[in-house]
Amino acid sequence: MYKTFDEIKKDCLSCEKCELCKTRTNVVFGAGQENAKILIIGEGPGENEDLQGLPFVGRGGQLLDKMLKAVGLSREENVYIANIVKCRPPKNRDPLPQEQEACINWLRHQVAVMKPKIIVCLGRISAQKIISPDFKVTKQHGEFYERNNVLLMGTFHPAALLRNPNNKPLAFDDFTKLREKLEELS
Protein backbone atom coordinates (compact mmCIF):
# COMPACT_ATOMS: atom_id res chain seq x y z
CA MET A 1 0.00 0.00 0.00
CA TYR A 2 1.21 3.48 -0.86
CA LYS A 3 1.33 6.08 1.88
CA THR A 4 1.96 9.24 -0.14
CA PHE A 5 1.27 10.71 -3.57
CA ASP A 6 5.03 11.01 -4.14
CA GLU A 7 5.41 7.24 -3.78
CA ILE A 8 2.56 6.59 -6.22
CA LYS A 9 3.89 9.18 -8.65
CA LYS A 10 7.37 7.72 -8.68
CA ASP A 11 6.02 4.37 -9.94
CA CYS A 12 3.33 5.88 -12.14
CA LEU A 13 5.77 8.00 -14.14
CA SER A 14 7.43 4.88 -15.52
CA CYS A 15 4.16 2.98 -16.15
CA GLU A 16 4.04 0.79 -19.25
CA LYS A 17 0.78 -1.03 -18.50
CA CYS A 18 -0.81 -0.01 -21.81
CA GLU A 19 0.11 1.12 -25.31
CA LEU A 20 -0.45 4.81 -24.51
CA CYS A 21 3.00 4.87 -22.89
CA LYS A 22 4.54 4.59 -26.36
CA THR A 23 3.10 7.84 -27.66
CA ARG A 24 3.04 10.00 -24.53
CA THR A 25 5.32 12.97 -23.90
CA ASN A 26 4.48 13.09 -20.20
CA VAL A 27 2.41 11.09 -17.74
CA VAL A 28 -0.26 13.44 -16.39
CA PHE A 29 -0.40 12.28 -12.79
CA GLY A 30 -2.71 15.01 -11.45
CA ALA A 31 -2.52 18.43 -9.82
CA GLY A 32 -3.92 20.34 -6.91
CA GLN A 33 -4.24 19.81 -3.19
CA GLU A 34 -3.52 16.27 -2.09
CA ASN A 35 -5.45 16.78 1.14
CA ALA A 36 -8.52 18.29 -0.56
CA LYS A 37 -12.01 16.96 0.18
CA ILE A 38 -12.91 17.15 -3.51
CA LEU A 39 -11.37 15.04 -6.28
CA ILE A 40 -12.27 15.98 -9.85
CA ILE A 41 -11.77 13.31 -12.50
CA GLY A 42 -11.62 13.99 -16.23
CA GLU A 43 -11.16 11.60 -19.11
CA GLY A 44 -7.56 11.79 -20.23
CA PRO A 45 -4.86 14.28 -21.20
CA GLY A 46 -5.14 16.23 -24.45
CA GLU A 47 -2.27 17.72 -26.41
CA ASN A 48 -1.48 20.60 -24.04
CA GLU A 49 -1.73 18.36 -20.99
CA ASP A 50 0.59 15.80 -22.60
CA LEU A 51 3.14 18.51 -23.38
CA GLN A 52 3.00 20.14 -19.94
CA GLY A 53 2.39 17.05 -17.81
CA LEU A 54 -0.54 18.78 -16.08
CA PRO A 55 -4.30 18.13 -16.25
CA PHE A 56 -6.78 20.56 -17.78
CA VAL A 57 -4.42 23.28 -18.99
CA GLY A 58 -6.07 23.95 -22.38
CA ARG A 59 -9.27 25.87 -23.18
CA GLY A 60 -11.37 23.29 -21.35
CA GLY A 61 -9.13 23.68 -18.33
CA GLN A 62 -9.61 27.44 -18.33
CA LEU A 63 -13.38 26.93 -18.32
CA LEU A 64 -13.09 24.38 -15.52
CA ASP A 65 -10.99 26.79 -13.44
CA LYS A 66 -13.56 29.54 -14.08
CA MET A 67 -16.47 27.35 -12.95
CA LEU A 68 -14.56 26.25 -9.86
CA LYS A 69 -13.61 29.83 -9.02
CA ALA A 70 -17.26 30.91 -9.30
CA VAL A 71 -18.05 28.67 -6.33
CA GLY A 72 -14.92 29.39 -4.31
CA LEU A 73 -12.95 26.33 -5.40
CA SER A 74 -9.55 26.05 -7.10
CA ARG A 75 -6.71 23.62 -7.65
CA GLU A 76 -4.47 26.04 -5.72
CA GLU A 77 -6.68 25.84 -2.67
CA ASN A 78 -9.20 23.04 -2.23
CA VAL A 79 -9.50 20.51 -5.06
CA TYR A 80 -7.34 17.87 -6.69
CA ILE A 81 -7.70 17.12 -10.41
CA ALA A 82 -6.84 13.85 -12.16
CA ASN A 83 -8.00 11.76 -15.13
CA ILE A 84 -9.21 8.23 -15.85
CA VAL A 85 -6.14 7.64 -18.04
CA LYS A 86 -2.86 9.39 -17.32
CA CYS A 87 -1.44 9.30 -20.84
CA ARG A 88 -2.83 11.01 -23.93
CA PRO A 89 -4.81 8.85 -26.32
CA PRO A 90 -3.58 9.52 -29.89
CA LYS A 91 -5.57 12.25 -31.66
CA ASN A 92 -7.59 12.69 -28.46
CA ARG A 93 -9.73 9.63 -29.15
CA ASP A 94 -11.71 8.15 -26.25
CA PRO A 95 -9.50 5.97 -24.04
CA LEU A 96 -10.23 2.30 -24.83
CA PRO A 97 -11.81 0.15 -22.11
CA GLN A 98 -8.57 -1.84 -21.74
CA GLU A 99 -6.56 1.40 -21.40
CA GLN A 100 -8.96 2.64 -18.72
CA GLU A 101 -8.73 -0.68 -16.91
CA ALA A 102 -4.92 -0.69 -17.13
CA CYS A 103 -4.73 2.81 -15.65
CA ILE A 104 -7.51 2.86 -13.05
CA ASN A 105 -5.38 1.38 -10.27
CA TRP A 106 -3.24 4.52 -10.17
CA LEU A 107 -6.40 6.51 -9.49
CA ARG A 108 -7.50 3.96 -6.88
CA HIS A 109 -4.16 4.41 -5.13
CA GLN A 110 -4.61 8.19 -5.26
CA VAL A 111 -8.12 7.87 -3.77
CA ALA A 112 -6.85 5.57 -1.03
CA VAL A 113 -4.20 8.10 0.02
CA MET A 114 -6.30 11.21 -0.48
CA LYS A 115 -9.57 9.91 1.01
CA PRO A 116 -11.74 12.53 -0.74
CA LYS A 117 -15.26 13.17 0.56
CA ILE A 118 -16.63 14.06 -2.87
CA ILE A 119 -15.62 12.81 -6.32
CA VAL A 120 -16.79 14.79 -9.35
CA CYS A 121 -16.70 13.05 -12.72
CA LEU A 122 -16.38 15.27 -15.78
CA GLY A 123 -18.12 13.75 -18.79
CA ARG A 124 -19.41 10.35 -19.85
CA ILE A 125 -16.16 8.39 -19.89
CA SER A 126 -15.30 9.35 -16.31
CA ALA A 127 -18.85 9.01 -14.93
CA GLN A 128 -19.39 5.63 -16.60
CA LYS A 129 -16.10 4.31 -15.25
CA ILE A 130 -16.50 5.67 -11.71
CA ILE A 131 -20.23 5.95 -11.03
CA SER A 132 -22.06 3.47 -13.25
CA PRO A 133 -21.55 1.96 -16.73
CA ASP A 134 -24.95 3.27 -17.87
CA PHE A 135 -24.54 6.81 -16.49
CA LYS A 136 -26.23 9.45 -18.70
CA VAL A 137 -24.71 12.90 -18.17
CA THR A 138 -27.69 14.76 -19.66
CA LYS A 139 -30.12 13.00 -17.30
CA GLN A 140 -28.07 12.41 -14.14
CA HIS A 141 -25.72 15.41 -13.93
CA GLY A 142 -25.69 17.11 -10.55
CA GLU A 143 -27.11 14.09 -8.69
CA PHE A 144 -25.10 12.80 -5.75
CA TYR A 145 -24.63 9.07 -5.17
CA GLU A 146 -23.06 7.66 -2.04
CA ARG A 147 -20.58 4.78 -2.13
CA ASN A 148 -18.37 3.71 0.77
CA ASN A 149 -18.99 7.00 2.51
CA VAL A 150 -17.88 9.00 -0.54
CA LEU A 151 -20.27 11.19 -2.55
CA LEU A 152 -20.05 10.76 -6.33
CA MET A 153 -21.40 13.31 -8.80
CA GLY A 154 -21.20 13.53 -12.59
CA THR A 155 -21.40 16.68 -14.66
CA PHE A 156 -20.62 17.94 -18.15
CA HIS A 157 -17.08 17.74 -19.52
CA PRO A 158 -15.68 21.27 -20.10
CA ALA A 159 -14.83 20.37 -23.72
CA ALA A 160 -18.50 19.43 -24.24
CA LEU A 161 -19.51 22.79 -22.76
CA LEU A 162 -17.22 24.58 -25.19
CA ARG A 163 -18.96 22.72 -28.04
CA ASN A 164 -22.42 23.28 -26.58
CA PRO A 165 -22.45 26.43 -24.42
CA ASN A 166 -26.22 26.04 -23.87
CA ASN A 167 -25.41 23.58 -21.11
CA LYS A 168 -23.12 25.97 -19.22
CA PRO A 169 -25.87 27.18 -16.82
CA LEU A 170 -26.67 23.53 -15.95
CA ALA A 171 -22.99 22.90 -15.23
CA PHE A 172 -22.77 26.03 -13.07
CA ASP A 173 -25.79 24.75 -11.11
CA ASP A 174 -23.96 21.45 -10.56
CA PHE A 175 -20.89 23.26 -9.24
CA THR A 176 -23.11 25.31 -6.95
CA LYS A 177 -24.57 22.07 -5.56
CA LEU A 178 -21.02 20.80 -5.12
CA ARG A 179 -20.16 23.84 -3.03
CA GLU A 180 -23.30 23.34 -0.91
CA LYS A 181 -22.45 19.68 -0.33
CA LEU A 182 -18.93 20.62 0.72
CA GLU A 183 -20.36 23.05 3.26
CA GLU A 184 -22.77 20.43 4.60
CA LEU A 185 -19.78 18.17 5.23
CA SER A 186 -17.63 20.69 7.06
Binding site for ligand URA (CB under 6 A): 42-46, 49, 55-56, 60, 83, 159
Output the smallest distance, CB 1 to ligand URA, in A. 26
Comparison of 122 and 151: residue with beta carbon closer to ligand URA? 122
Beta strands in 55-175 (DSSP E): 79-83, 118-122, 144-147, 150-155
Q: How far is the CB of 17 from ligand URA (least distance, A)?
A: 19
Choose between 60 and 154: whose C-beta lies nearer to ligand URA: 60
- Residue 143, Ramachandran bin (φ over 0: left; ψ between -120 and 50: alpha; else beta): beta
Instruction: Please report how close the Cβ of residue 178 comes to ligand URA at its closest, in angstroms.
Output: 17
Q: How far is CA 167 from CA 74, 141, 144, in A?
A: 21, 11, 19
Rounded Cα distance, 95 and 97, in Å: 7
Query: Which residue number, 56 or 106, has a Cβ lying nearer to ligand URA?
Result: 56
Q: Left if phi > 0, otherwise alpha if psi is -120 to 50, otherwise beta: which for 98?
A: alpha
Point out which residues pair with 147 in neighbouring strands.
150
Q: How far is the CB of 3 from ligand URA (least distance, A)?
A: 26
**Minimum gap (Å) between residue 182 Cβ and ligand URA:** 22
| Closest to ligand URA by CB, 64 or 184 | 64
Terminus-to-terminus CA distance in the chain, angstroms? 28
**Whose CA is closest to 55, among 162, 159, 152, 163?**
159
Nearer to ligand URA, 37 or 157 (CB): 157
Residue with the CB atom nearest ligand URA in the bound state: 42
